[in-house]
Amino acid sequence: MRPQIALFGDSITEQSFRSGGWGAALADTYTRKADIVNRGYSGYNTRWALFLLHQLFPFDSTKPPVAATIFFGANDAALLGRTSERQHVPIEEYKENLRKVVHHLKECSPTMLVVLITPPPVDEVGRRDYAQSVYGEKAMELPERTNEVTGLYAKQCVELAKEMGLCSIDLWSKMQETGGWQKKFLSDGLHLTPEGNAVVHEEVVKVFNQLWLSAAEMPDDFPSHSEIDGKNPEKAFQQLCI
């Protein structure tokens, strides 16, 4: 009965139901309006994401999601020749993979509202500090991701959205508008703090509102308890069937 909104992405999506997470906040925003389902896969890039599409979003689904966020790129933008190179995807392929994901979702349901989200910015100092805290002296000196390269991927994501007539959230640019974004929004130079999660939540809600998927305008799935007559409760529920 309730529509479903799918969050498809990497670890920043997978972790979005942790305390202060943007997925949980979205679920709270859409309480009694829509179900938010987490389809985040830690460490995944867009190349690997393609393998999941038919199982996650089957064409013969009788109830596909009404909306989806696609939030990849943080791993695609890992640099060649560095510790995370296994996750690297060339920038042109990243864009084409995203296009394939969108095509798949639209084939699944032509009316699905698809929102592209760019990777967040990278704080190289924060990444290095994090690596040293985990690996000690063995940590590589050279960063496995740079903010500059991630920014190029973010640009491709935004461009693709324009080409395909979709809404996008340029998180890479948005976060950098705030002074001290490195520590304010990022916990380890890459993943989000509660404040960083709040930015994503706010931006996703803003875009969904623009797309007429505003929680405030969606009906609750059953009457408010204040509308139920204590002596004649049937009345409130019968009206649902008219």
Cα dihedral sign, 223-229-233-239: negative
Q: Which is nearer to a copy of itself, 97 or 182 (CB)?
A: 97
Distance spanning both ends of the chain, measured CA to CA:
16
Task: In angstroms, give the least distance from the CB of 47 to a copy of itself.
Answer: 7
Q: Which long-range contacts (CB under 8 A, 24 or more apart) does 142-147 make?
A: 142/82, 143/79, 143/82, 144/78, 144/79, 144/82, 144/83, 144/84, 144/85, 145/74, 145/77, 145/78, 145/79, 145/82, 145/84, 145/190, 146/79, 146/122, 147/121, 147/122, 147/123
115 contacts 106 by C-beta, under 8 angstroms = no
Q: Please, what is the minimum distance in Å from the beta carbon of residue 165 to a copy of itself?
A: 30
What phi, psi does 95 have (nearest 5°)? -65, -45
- Pick between residue 179 and residue 240 the one whose CB is nearest to a copy of itself: 240
Quote the least distance from Cβ 166 to a copy of itself, whole Å.
25
16 catalytic residue (yes or no): no
Minimum CB distance to a copy of itself smaller for 30 or for 166: 30
> CA-CA distances (angstroms) from residue 55 to 51, 107, 108, 206?
8, 14, 12, 29
Distance CA 96, CA 53 (A): 15
Record the tokens describing residue 93, joined without a space: 């392929």
Shortest Å distance, C-beta 37 to a copy of itself = 5
Least CB distance to a copy of itself at residue 18 (A):
5
For a copy of itself, the closer of residues 138 and 231 by Cβ is 231
Q: Could you give phi then psi for residue 181, rounded to 5 degrees? A: -55, -30
Specify the residue, 51 or 59, whose C-beta has the smaller distance to a copy of itself: 51
Kindly list the residues in this chain that would bind a copy of itself in the complex (CB under 8 A): 1, 14-15, 17-21, 23-25, 27-28, 31-32, 35, 37-38, 40-44, 47-48, 51-52, 55-56, 75, 85-87, 194, 222, 224-226, 228, 230, 233-234, 237
Catalytic residues: 11
